[in-house]
Amino acid sequence: EAGVAQSPRYKIIEKRQSVAFWCNPISGHATLYWYQQILGQGPKLLIQFQNNGVVDDSQLPKDRFSAERLKGVDSTLKIQPAKLEDSAVYLCASSQGTGGTEAFFGQGTRLTVV
């Protein structure tokens, strides 16, 4: 079974530029998550999709972050414009559902904003 695929693996941009990350979840997984992980901290949920609908985006900075999940499969997360404090690893995860089901994580995209 293929895992969660993310790209790019690394990205360096200047502040105020825009950037997009892509995620392909495990086939058949209805739930997709985007997390932000700052060095030395645990993953923080940005947005959760159930199929192509948003379940929770309470911690997504909506003035600069946006996300979509096309046809309930792939997802993109965009930052525009980026700030220095956005430097982090962006992790995508998927699961068959919620309620105690395990989440499978991709390797993440390491973003550096200079």
Contact call for residue 22 and other proteins (CB under 8 A): no
Task: Point out which span in 19-27, 34-42, 64-72, 75-83 binds other proteins (CB under 8 A).
Answer: 34-42
Contact call for residue 56 and other proteins (CB under 8 A): yes
Those residues with Cβ within 8 angstroms of residue 54's Cβ, 6 or more apart along the chain or in another chain: 47, 48
Query: Which residues in 9-114 belong to E strands, given as ranges?
Result: 10-13, 19-24, 31-37, 44-50, 53-56, 65-69, 75-79, 88-95, 104-105, 109-113
Contact call for residue 68 and other proteins (CB under 8 A): no
The residue from 24, 36, 48, 94 that contacts other proteins (CB under 8 A) is 48
108 contacts 39 by C-beta, under 8 angstroms: no
- Positions 72 through 111 that interact with other proteins (CB under 8 A): 91, 93, 98-100, 102-108
Provide the minimum distance between the beta carbon of 113 and other proteins in the complex, in angstroms, as a whole number.
19
